[in-house]
Every structure is written in C-alpha cells, then in structure tokens.
Amino acid sequence: MSVRDLIPWGRSNNRAPVPYRDDDRSPFLSLHREMNRVFDDFFRDFDMRLPMMGNAGFAGGWPQIDLAETDKEVTVTAELPGMEEKDVELLIEDGMLTLKGEKRSETEDKDRQVSERYYGRFERHVPLGAEIQADKAKARFKNGVLTVTLPKNPEAQPRAKRIAINH
C-alpha cells in the first residue's frame, strides 16, 4: 500500500475535488498541486509499504531491547510484560542471540458470557558483534524483564594500553 492509496480522490489529474471549474486561477489550489508534486517527488524513491505484522500484530522490532557492551561482556535486556520465563527461549548461534517466545492471554467473564483469547509469537535476532563464551552465558527473568549476560572470550578482548601524553 502506498501513501497515494490513502488519498480519497484520484491522483491522475493532481487536483482536489472542487465544486467549480475555475481552479486554474485559484492560488490555493495551485499551491495544493505544487505541494503534492513536491511530496510526490520527495517520496518517490522511498519504499512506502507498511511493515508486515506478525501473527498477533507484533512489528519486526518487538520486543524492544537494550544492548550494553563493556570490555568483558555484552548485556542484552528485553522487556516482556505479561510473559513468564517458560514462554521465552534463548539461542546463541554464529554470533547471533535469538529471542523466541509466545505470548498468550485468555480472559473469560462468565457474568457477561464473554471470553477473549490472544496469541502472538515473536522472534528477535540480535547480532552480538563480539566473540562470546556461549557456555558461560547467563539469563535472568524478573518482573517481565529478561537480562542476558554474555561474557566475551578473553582472547578476543581488545588489549589496549593508554599512553600518557607529556609536554
């Protein structure tokens, strides 16, 4: 779907619907056509399709993550509200951390005879950019926040030494 599909009138003649045909002399309609042309030219090279939504409407960047790196470790923090530890799976493969999970919600109101079910799967790949000791990785899940600590390989850590500058 492009932005043009959202405009209620046809764009073939580049003018808004008007009740009269004296639009050639109207400065507002002339400005309107010119602004349409400017925006059309600007957005022509952009891919204006909407992002694909997953099973439950999660866009590609869910869950949101924070990535912190020190000389010794990489820490990935993800907020997963309403989820439990058993709903989340973590994998490390080829320098990539993968977070997978499924969020389920079921509510039932017997008084109003209404029940609601909600299911959604997600998968997020996080490139680590450093050589990780996968066997020493640790994960903690508390109050809907997942924290994964990934120690770096000591051989891969930068061996930099600060040099003092003298006058």
Note the pLDDT tens digit of each residue in 93-145. Answer: 888 899 998 887 788 888 888 888 877 888 888 888 768 888 899 999 998 89
What does the pLDDT read at residue 145? Answer: 92
Percentage of the chain surpassing pLDDT 70? 71
Q: What is the residue type of 129?
A: G
Class of the domain covering 65-156: mainly beta
Q: How far is CA 72 from CA 69, 111, 149, 160, in A?
A: 8, 56, 10, 13
Q: Mean pLDDT across the stretch 65-90?
A: 89
Quick check: pTM over 0.85?
no
In terms of phi and psi (left: phi > 0; alpha: psi -120 to 50; beta: otherwise), the region of 113 is left
Q: Where are the domains positioned within the chain?
A: 3-43, 65-156
DSSP H helical segments within 44-114, as ranges?
none
